Structure 1
Amino acid sequence: MERKPLVLILCGGRSLRLWPLSNYKSKNFLDFFAHQPLKATIDRFRKITPLKNIFLVANRNEKSLLYRLKEIDKRNIFLEPQSKNTAAAILFSLLRLTNHRERILIISPVDSFIKKEKIFYRDLAKALRVARRGYICTLGIIPDKFSTGLGYIKKAGSGKNGIFDVEEFVEKPSLKKGRKLFKAGRILYNSGIFVSYPAVIEEEYQKYYVSYHFFKKSLAKNKVDLAYRKIEGLSFDRAVVEKSRKIKVVQANFQWKDFGNWQTIFEIMAKDAQGNVSPSNASLKKCKDSFIYSTNPGKKILALGLKDIFYIDTPDYVLLSSRDRLEKLKSFLEKA
């Protein structure tokens, strides 16, 4: 009988796409929704596997908050010395899971907003079946619009039972390339959820990730900080998945959003009759499709005649942006 799967949750750090709030909170503990993202992700997977099978990987700066979690044993929390993207986070975790090589592993980012969970579990079960045949299987989402802030999967093959080969992974394409892909069709959003055996994933690291041997030797010598200082910060997709020949994608049918940016948070949250999102301490007049947020519930906010405007107020910084410029926020901050 197949044993219950393991789950590795990639606990995101402080995203520039959520500046300035990200100066104070990581994505794990945002409080826009009924449950904080990390708790919601744990709850989603505890329905299919025991809590003892759920592992977290995060920056060690999050240690005190993560150790307060009642659901997860401290031994199941892997703390990185610094954030070096998902290729390092996943390999670091794989090398800590050496006693679980025979178990299927589900890798999931923390910043996935999922509705229609019954459909999610059905699609995930399909991915588990594919993974048992020795593949790395991901879940691809049928796109409803194009965004330069998301990654895409170009599917190939006939797609029997909704399972496709992968022609290409495209990570956050330019506007021009993205529109061309979108027009051509046969693309899916990359959910960042992967399913496979740890041994299969590590085998692909060994083939394609240039830092694999250095990283593994450094960890064996307990030189974790050195390993993280030296390696390049690549995503798992770019370091391994884009090069692997063992990739399959399940075309998923559940509702999904990556809430690692203000635009997506706005799309998810409840709105008034004019399409605005605002706190109880804000008064809006003749505003439409705008987002008002403040960390100070005692501060009175008055907004007049706004349209497609985002205003985020924190103790030290304020973000004021038109909705159509939000995707430029990260690059603007990197140059500032």
Structure 2
Amino acid sequence: MTDQLLPVILCGGSGTRLWPLSRETYPKQFHALAGDSSMLQDTATRLHGISGDVALAAPLLVCNIEHRFLVATQLQQAQIENARILLEPTGRNTAPALTIAALQAVSAGADPVMLAMPADHVISDRKAFHESVQVAFNAARAGQMVTFGIVADRPETGYGYIQHGTTEQGGTFEVQSFVEKPDLVRAQSYLAAGNYLWNSGLFVVRASVWLKAMKAFRPDILSACEQSMNGAQRDMDFVRPESNAFQSSPSDSIDYAVMERLPKMPELGIQARVVPLKAGWSDVGAWDALWAVREHDADGNAIIGNAVQHGCTNSLFLSSSRLVTGVGLDNIAVVETPDAILVADMRRTQDVKKIVAHLQTYGQALAHSHRKVHRPWGWYDSIDYGERFQVKRIVVNPGASLSLQMHHHRAEHWVVVKGTAEVTNGDQVLLLGENESTFIPLGHVHRLRNPGKLPLEIVEVQSGSYLGEDDIVRFEDTYGRVAEKAGVNN
């Protein structure tokens, strides 16, 4: 029987160092940072065309439950079929995420080789990546656990390192130790030593081997994950592990839970191996890393969106909604979104997370979400607000519908800008065309649906004593949110 390679895409992480573009409700993996497709879409298609004797399975994704429709929509846009999506009720790091993926993988009697890939990495040389995956695949189906170490080209202090032995075996080396992010002097010594690689966070292991290792090293995590998967519910492409059991799992990474311990327990019979990888890899962990993977002009500037510079060098300009200009800047990142602007020294972009921490401490919602908010039916943009009013631009996908709902504290005026709207307003059901409008009184049960084949766009004016997103009572919902917490994925 041919062994299958199962791509396991880990979609967690909030990408705080890429604020203000990356936020909790729409983190970096859902953005098109390195090209025309999102980082998630690039990851999901990364193995397409792999040759050799690798039988590629449909991907299995592990994501936060609040991102489930983003993940499903982006997979559909990338024409990824038959993917399964595991929904974490809360983040518990990569070891529990890979454990529930392994349990799902073996649930039907199969035992594939899993390739665990974070959804927010860039790999520009796909051919070289495929060749390295083939090497790791051969080692993993023989019972080894394999990681990829990035061949270092500079003394990087932002990555952890893997120290490996000098004896090659089938293209892999023995893992001797994992090293935390070093200071500059230590990083220079690692580069000079020649047997230290950057820790990529990519792993290849057979599902049963991973579960065997978890039983030996972290039986507490394994037990919690088994209970959560035994109580899992399945609907559409989603698998929902039982929430209470999963939340009882300790949080731990693949490195700490297993990989670092394998060399110390040879009697387990699972070797820890590393494949040196030179394939244009980047975790795009901060703005300087994004600058590094983008094309540059003659002066070393990377320009994304509507931006103009004069006399600038080695700088990054990213515009999301308006013209951004720079004069005489060197080594500066300028990032614009509709509701926030970041200007940072490129040598200190790791500190952007401290800005996010400050916003979180003082309760500013800009750390959590954008002005433009994505929902399973489309999106809305809060374009203006003041005392007792708010104006939203709402776009509903073809065939999609908002929930049948009611508000206690606000009334709404809807004006159709593009497309056709089917409006339930109390006992009435209306069809509204462009330039037509309706009024939803406070307390009226209502619903907005797009019956057409093109996106529906409306302008909504809310007025009332309270305009928060948690003022909503759902009666029916296409997306299974009636029993969920109010205000989540409205």
Same fold (TM over 0.5): yes
8 Å CA contact 1:117–1:254 kept in 2: the answer is yes
Q: How does 1:1-336 map to 2 (within 5 A)?
A: 1-23=1-23, 25-32=26-33, 33-48=35-50, 53-68=58-73, 69-70=75-76, 71-73=79-81, 76-98=84-106, 99=108, 101-175=110-184, 177-209=186-218, 210-222=220-232, 224-245=242-263, 246-279=271-304, 281-296=306-321, 299-331=322-354, 333-334=356-357
Q: Which amino acid aligns with 1:65?
A: L
Q: Which amino acid aligns with 1:315?
A: P
Q: Please report how far the alpha carbon of residue 279 of structure 1 lies from its aligned counterpart in structure 2 after TM superposition.
A: 3.7
Q: Which amino acid aligns with 1:184?
A: A
Cα distance in 1 for residues equivalent to 2:121 and 2:212: 27
Q: Please report how far the alpha carbon of residue 120 of structure 1 lies from its aligned counterpart in structure 2 after TM superposition.
A: 1.6
Measured against aligned partners, the alpha-carbon deviations of 1:70-99 in whole angstroms (never above 9, x if no partner) come to 234576111111222211211121122222
- Secondary structure of residue in 2 paired with 1:56: strand
Cα distance in 2 for residues equivalent to 1:329 and 1:247: 35
Cα distance in 1 for residues equivalent to 2:45 and 2:231: 36
Cα distance in 2 for residues equivalent to 1:50 and 1:129: 12
- Secondary structure of residue in 2 paired with 1:251: strand
Cα distance in 2 for residues equivalent to 1:218 and 1:126: 33
Q: Which amino acid aligns with 2:100?
A: F
Go from structure 1 to structure 2 and tell me whether the alpha carbon gap of 1:176 and 1:234 turns closer, same or farther (over 3 Å shift).
Answer: farther
8 Å CA contact 1:52–1:73 kept in 2: the answer is no
Q: Please report how far the alpha carbon of residue 311 of structure 1 lies from its aligned counterpart in structure 2 after TM superposition.
A: 1.3
Measured against aligned partners, the alpha-carbon deviations of 1:129-181 in whole angstroms (never above 9, x if no partner) come to 11122100112221111333322211113224532101111243444543443
8 Å CA contact 2:105–2:112 kept in 1: the answer is no
Residue range with higher mean Cα deviation, 229-238 or 188-197: 229-238
Go from structure 1 to structure 2 and tell me whether the alpha carbon gap of 1:75 and 1:163 turns closer, same or farther (over 3 Å shift).
Answer: closer
Q: Which amino acid aligns with 1:96?
A: Q
Cα distance in 2 for residues equivalent to 1:323 and 1:333: 17
Q: Please report how far the alpha carbon of residue 243 of structure 1 lies from its aligned counterpart in structure 2 after TM superposition.
A: 0.9
Go from structure 1 to structure 2 and tell me whether the alpha carbon gap of 1:287 and 1:80 turns closer, same or farther (over 3 Å shift).
Answer: same
8 Å CA contact 2:29–2:119 kept in 1: the answer is yes
Q: Please report how far the alpha carbon of residue 272 of structure 1 lies from its aligned counterpart in structure 2 after TM superposition.
A: 1.1
8 Å CA contact 1:276–1:288 kept in 2: the answer is yes
8 Å CA contact 2:288–2:347 kept in 1: the answer is no
Cα distance in 1 for residues equivalent to 2:242 and 2:158: 31
8 Å CA contact 1:150–1:172 kept in 2: the answer is yes
Q: Which amino acid aligns with 2:28?
A: K
Cα distance in 2 for residues equivalent to 1:100 and 1:320: 53
Go from structure 1 to structure 2 and tell me whether the alpha carbon gap of 1:172 and 1:132 turns closer, same or farther (over 3 Å shift).
Answer: same
8 Å CA contact 2:324–2:336 kept in 1: the answer is no
**Where does structure 1 lack aligned partners over 5 or more consecutive residues?**
none
Relative to total residues, which structure has the larger helix share, 1 or 2?
1
Size of the alignment, in residue pairs?
A: 334
Cα distance in 1 for residues equivalent to 2:310 and 2:81: 49
Cα distance in 2 for residues equivalent to 1:229 and 1:174: 35
- Secondary structure of residue in 1 paired with 2:330: coil
Measured against aligned partners, the alpha-carbon deviations of 1:222-279 in whole angstroms (never above 9, x if no partner) come to 5732234333332211122111232101122322222232221111111111111124
Q: Please report how far the alpha carbon of residue 300 of structure 1 lies from its aligned counterpart in structure 2 after TM superposition.
A: 2.4
Q: Percent identity?
A: 31
Cα distance in 1 for residues equivalent to 2:319 and 2:338: 9
Cα distance in 2 for residues equivalent to 1:317 and 1:231: 36
Cα distance in 2 for residues equivalent to 1:331 and 1:184: 33
8 Å CA contact 1:67–1:74 kept in 2: the answer is no
Cα distance in 2 for residues equivalent to 1:291 and 1:219: 44
Match of 2:426 in 1: none
In the superposition, the TM-score normalised over structure 1's length comes to: 0.90
Q: Which has the larger radius of gyration?
A: 2
Q: Please report how far the alpha carbon of residue 17 of structure 1 lies from its aligned counterpart in structure 2 after TM superposition.
A: 1.7
8 Å CA contact 2:89–2:247 kept in 1: the answer is no
Cα distance in 2 for residues equivalent to 1:103 and 1:269: 35
Go from structure 1 to structure 2 and tell me whether the alpha carbon gap of 1:279 and 1:106 turns closer, same or farther (over 3 Å shift).
Answer: closer
Cα distance in 1 for residues equivalent to 2:37 and 2:312: 28
Q: Please report how far the alpha carbon of residue 306 of structure 1 lies from its aligned counterpart in structure 2 after TM superposition.
A: 0.5
8 Å CA contact 2:300–2:315 kept in 1: the answer is yes
Go from structure 1 to structure 2 and tell me whether the alpha carbon gap of 1:331 and 1:132 turns closer, same or farther (over 3 Å shift).
Answer: same
Residue range with higher mean Cα deviation, 275-284 or 218-227: 218-227
Relative to total residues, which structure has the larger strand share, 1 or 2?
2
